[in-house]
Amino acid sequence: MIDSGLLYQLQIFLLILMRIFGMMALAPFFSSMVVPFRMRATLAFFVTVVMFTLALRAQIRPELSLVPYIMQLAGELLIGLAIGFIVATYFAAFAFAAELFSVQMGLSITMVFDPQAQIEVPVIGQLLSMFAVLIFVGIGAHHHLLSAIWSSYASLPVLELTREAGPFAQGAASAFTAMFGAALKIALPMIAVSFLLSLSMGILAKTAPQLNILMMGFPIQILVGLSVLLASLPFIFRFMGEVISQSIQFALRVTGAAA
């Protein structure tokens, strides 16, 4: 016969585990397929142990019946998935910006596999994705993300699926809008330079038709594109850090709005 107090604590532990596991399933760095699933599950377990021992039990009230408790588990998983999804959506801005870079440079045909996003991206996309992961770890965003999970219990200790899911849907839509805006800000210097370069090539083609502008244009576009990317890297790094921090804060606001 299982002691009722032990069973109650086990229910709380599983609720915390579901929220953390949901976050790690989608959040950048934690969800990378480079890290084996067994290690991610082990990390989620030990993080849950730490949070369980930090007096979170006073804020969580699990249901005593089986079906309502299963609904609570699903709600906790939804909260974790929402936090991870919002941060991952902001993170996708870097891959989208790299796509814009590659199109302007004429390198969009060169695709490589990105183990972080599990998709094929241009070479520039792989480069920016690696930079984004390094910045994510460098600014301690993985620690901030775990702190966000901890802070989410203050506004949303337990989510029941019977509640309105409007804040999560609005948060996802806002995250997509912010992602496109961030990608355009990153790629804007390259788009502007590429426009000026194409305009110059067009004028040169009219004034000197004997030159093969098409063959000259490709290496010039690549050279100019790499130069612009190299010159703008310090600003891109700073902006990446701001975007990652904003994504975690926005995820917290969404969970607070759902309370």
Enter the tokens of residue 167.
């804040």
Which portions of the chain are predicted below pLDDT 70? 1-5, 54-59, 104-123, 125, 155, 157-169, 171-172, 208-215, 217, 256-259
Contact 84, 247 (CB under 8 A): no
**Looking at residue 4, what is its pLDDT?**
66
Predicted local distance difference test score (pLDDT) of residue 1: 46
pLDDT of residue 257: 47
Q: What is the pLDDT of residue 152?
A: 76
Distant-in-sequence, close-in-space partners of 32: CB < 8 Å, separation ≥ 6:
115, 116, 133
Question: Which pLDDT score, from 0 to 100, does residue 196 have?
Answer: 81
Q: How far apart are the first and last CA of the chain?
A: 36
Any idea which residue has 């009722």 for tokens? 4
Q: Which of 186, 225, 192, 103 is nearest to 111 (CA)?
A: 103
From residue 157, how far is each of 5, 109, 217, 236 by CA, in Å? 20, 47, 58, 36
Task: Give the domain ranges of the chain.
Answer: 4-257
pLDDT tens digits for range 130-184: 788 888 888 888 888 888 888 777 767 666 555 555 666 676 677 777 777 887 7
Beta partners for 120?
A: 113
State how far the Cα of 87 lies from the Cα of 69, in Å rounded to an integer. 28
Residue 62 and residue 60: Cα distance in Å, rounded? Answer: 6
pTM exceeds cut of 0.85: no
Q: Radius of gyration (Cα) for the chain, nearest Å? A: 23
